[in-house]
Amino acid sequence: MKAEEIRTKTLDELEGQLGDLKKEQFNLRFQKATGQLENVARVRQVRRDIARVKTIAAQKRAEKK
């Protein structure tokens, strides 16, 4: 996911997307623990996407103030 795609979303959409990414991260960790994880690179992608969403959400909150 690109940062430009994330910047076009509203704060509410970002919070929803953050929840979805955290659920996916949980599921990936569960798959890794049980040995069912096929795409190990996805763990890194999700972690970075979470960081991007959090960063941009914080920037948007700062702009509002």
CATH classification at residue 20 = 1.10.287.310
Predicted TM-score (pTM) of this structure: 0.92
Q: Are 11 and 62 in contact (CB under 8 A)?
A: no
Q: Which residues of 4-16 are buried (b: 16+ CB within 10 A; e: fewer)?
A: eebeebeeeebee
Containing structural domain, residue 15:
3-64
Residue 4: pLDDT band (50, 70, 90) is: very high
Q: Are 49 and 43 in contact (CB under 8 A)?
A: no
Q: What is the pLDDT of residue 32?
A: 96
Whole-angstrom CA distances from 32 to 37, 41, 43, 46, 51 are 5, 11, 9, 14, 21
- Domain count within the chain: 1
